[in-house]
C-alpha cells in the first residue's frame, strides 16, 4: 500500500487532465474526488499497480447508495430525548432543522449543515431540552431527602450550625482527576456564637491576629498545609479547639499587661480621670477639709463626671466625629459651669 506518490493524476472540473508533480501536500489538503475517477492514494490493494488512468468502474463500485436521512422519518411529536440521550456532536441527519453556519461566500449564503465542520466543533445542548431535564430530575428524586422544616431561616441555620466549612472540588478535561487546589479548607465561625468571656474574647482575637474580621465578627481559618482534604479539615478543627481552650486559660505573664497593651481606652486610672479630679478639687471652695477618698467617690458619682467619662471614652475609641465632639463640648461645659 503506497502512502505517497510523486505524481498524481487529477481531473479538474474543466475536464482537462494534468499531472501535478512533486510530493503530495501535507496535512489535510487532499486532492478532491469526484465520482468519475479514483486516486493513487486508495487503501485497496492492487489497483494502483495496474497504472491505468481510467478506473471509474472501481470508484463507482465503492460508492454506497445514499439512504434517506433519519430526519425524513421524524414526526413532530417524537421523543427527542431518544434522539439525543447524552451529549453528542451535531449529526446533520439526526437534527431536523435547516441550520446554516459559517461565513457566506460573496453573494452567497452560509454553508448548509451537511458536512459542516463548524457545527460539529461547537458544543451543543441538544441533549438538555426541558423534557430531558425533567426526566433527569425524576430520576434523581429517589436519592434526595427533604430539607429539615425547622431550619427555615438563615438565622436559625447559623444558630444551630455556627461553624461553616468551605471546600472546592475541581472538574477539568484530561485523564487525571487530581487537582492540588482541592485540598484547601476554609473554616468560618462567628465569635458571638462561642462561649467566651471578656478576657477570653480579647485573648482569642489577639491570638488569631489577621484571621479575625472586626466588622463581621468572624474568625476565618484557612488550611492547606496537608496533602489531603480530610487532613486539612481535621487540622482546622484542631486549631479552633486549641484557640478556644487557650483563650480561656490565664497565663502568669498576662498580669503584666500595661495600659499600652489595652485594646480599647479605659477611663478608670487614666490621665484624663486624674486631671478632671484635680480640676474639680481645685474648684471647690477653700476651707472644707474632707477625706480624699470620700471626695473622690462623690465627685466620680456626679452625673456630669459620668457624662464626661462617656464622651472621652467615645472619642478615644471611635475617633473624632461631629456627634462625639459635640458631646464632649457639652460635657465640659456642664462640668466647668460655663
Partner 1 sequence: LIFVSFQTVCRQLNSTLWLNVGGRSIHSSAVCCKNRAARIRVGKGDRPVTYEQALHPHQIAHRKGWLSQHTSNLQGEDGAADRTVEDLFIRRLIYGTFHGCLADELVIKRRGNLLVICALMLQKLPPHKYYFLVGYTEELLSHFYKCPVKMEIQMLEEKSVYKYL
* Residues within the interface to partner 1 (CB under 8 A): 3, 12-14, 27-30, 32-35, 39, 41-43, 62-64, 66, 87-89, 91-93, 102-103, 105, 111, 114-118, 120-123, 171-177
Nearer to partner 1, 105 or 303 (CB): 105
Task: Give the cell for residue 44.
Answer: 485497496
Report in angstroms how near the CB of residue 174 gets to partner 1 at its nearest.
5
- Could you give the CA distance from residue 201 to residue 331 in angstroms, rounded to a whole number? 32
Residue 69, C-beta contacts closer than 8 angstroms, at least 6 positions apart: 92, 93, 94
User: Quick check: 202 and 195 in contact, CB under 8 A?
Assistant: no
Half-sphere exposure of 173 (CA within 13 A, CB side): 0
Nearer to partner 1, 63 or 75 (CB): 63
Closest CA to 68 of 99, 94, 88, 34: 94
- Could you give the CA distance from residue 267 to residue 3 in angstroms, rounded to a whole number? 96
Report in angstroms how near the CB of residue 167 gets to partner 1 at its nearest.
17
Closest CA to 240 of 272, 204, 290: 204
Nearer to partner 1, 87 or 281 (CB): 87
Nearer to partner 1, 69 or 162 (CB): 69
Report in angstroms how near the CB of residue 116 gets to partner 1 at its nearest.
7
Report in angstroms how near the CB of residue 111 gets to partner 1 at its nearest.
6
User: Quick check: 38 and 58 in contact, CB under 8 A?
Assistant: yes
- As a residue count, the chain comes to 338
User: Quick check: 299 and 277 in contact, CB under 8 A?
Assistant: yes
Report in angstroms how near the CB of residue 23 gets to partner 1 at its nearest.
15
Report in angstroms how near the CB of residue 256 gets to partner 1 at its nearest.
48
Nearer to partner 1, 109 or 260 (CB): 109
Cβ neighbours of 302 (radius 10 Å) = 13
Report in angstroms how near the CB of residue 92 gets to partner 1 at its nearest.
7
Nearer to partner 1, 34 or 289 (CB): 34
Q: What residues pair up with 219 in beta bridges, in sequence order? A: 189, 212
Nearer to partner 1, 51 or 115 (CB): 115
- Could you give the CA distance from residue 41 to residue 2 in angstroms, rounded to a whole number? 7
Report in angstroms how near the CB of residue 7 gets to partner 1 at its nearest.
17
Report in angstroms how near the CB of residue 51 gets to partner 1 at its nearest.
18
Q: Per DSSP, which regions of the chain are E strands?
A: 8-11, 17-20, 164-167, 185-190, 212-213, 218-223
Residue 330, C-beta contacts closer than 8 angstroms, at least 6 positions apart: 307, 311
Nearer to partner 1, 118 or 234 (CB): 118
CA angle 36, 14, 64 (to 5 degrees): 20
Cβ neighbours of 139 (radius 10 Å) = 9
Nearer to partner 1, 93 or 241 (CB): 93
Amino acid at each position: 500500500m503506497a502512502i505517497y506518490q510523486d505524481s498524481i493524476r487529477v481531473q479538474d472540473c474543466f475536464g482537462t487532465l494534468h499531472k501535478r508533480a512533486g510530493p503530495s501536500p501535507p496535512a489535510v489538503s487532499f486532492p478532491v474526488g469526484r465520482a468519475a475517477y479514483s486516486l493513487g492514494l486508495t487503501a485497496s490493494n492492487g489497483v494502483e499497480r495496474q497504472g491505468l488512468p481510467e478506473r471509474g468502474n472501481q470508484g463507482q463500485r465503492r460508492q454506497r447508495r445514499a439512504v434517506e436521512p433519519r430526519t425524513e422519518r421524524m414526526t413532530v411529536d417524537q421523543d427527542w430525548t431518544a434522539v439525543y440521550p447524552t451529549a453528542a456532536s451535531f449529526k446533520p441527519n439526526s437534527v431536523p432543522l435547516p441550520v446554516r453556519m459559517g461565513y457566506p461566500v460573496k453573494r452567497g449564503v452560509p454553508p448548509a449543515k451537511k458536512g459542516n465542520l463548524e457545527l460539529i466543533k461547537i458544543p451543543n445542548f441538544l441533549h438538555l431540552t426541558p423534557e430531558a431535564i425533567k426526566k433527569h430530575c425524576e430520576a434523581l428524586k429517589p436519592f434526595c431527602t427533604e430539607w429539615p422544616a425547622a431550619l427555615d431561616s438563615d438565622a436559625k441555620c447559623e444558630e444551630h450550625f455556627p461553624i461553616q466549612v468551605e471546600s472546592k472540588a475541581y472538574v477539568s478535561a484530561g485523564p487525571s482527576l487530581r487537582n492540588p487546589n482541592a485540598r484547601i479548607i476554609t473554616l468560618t465561625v462567628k465569635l458571638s456564637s462561642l462561649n467566651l468571656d471578656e478576657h477570653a474574647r480579647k485573648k482569642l482575637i489577639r491570638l488569631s491576629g489577621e484571621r479575625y474580621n472586626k466588622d463581621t465578627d468572624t474568625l476565618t481559618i484557612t488550611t492547606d498545609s496537608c496533602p489531603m482534604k480530610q487532613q486539612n479539615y481535621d487540622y482546622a478543627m484542631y486549631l479552633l479547639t486549641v484557640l478556644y481552650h487557650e483563650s480561656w486559660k490565664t497565663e502568669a505573664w498576662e498580669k503584666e499587661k500595661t495600659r499600652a497593651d489595652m485594646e480599647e481606652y479605659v477611663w478608670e486610672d487614666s490621665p484624663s480621670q486624674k486631671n478632671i479630679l484635680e480640676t474639680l478639687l481645685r474648684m471647690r471652695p477653700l476651707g472644707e477639709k474632707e477625706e480624699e477618698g470620700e471626695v473622690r467617690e462623690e465627685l466620680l458619682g456626679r452625673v456630669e463626671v459620668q457624662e464626661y467619662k462617656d464622651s472621652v471614652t467615645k472619642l478615644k475609641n471611635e475617633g473624632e466625629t461631629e456627634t462625639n465632639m459635640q458631646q464632649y463640648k457639652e460635657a465640659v461645659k456642664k462640668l466647668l459651669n460655663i
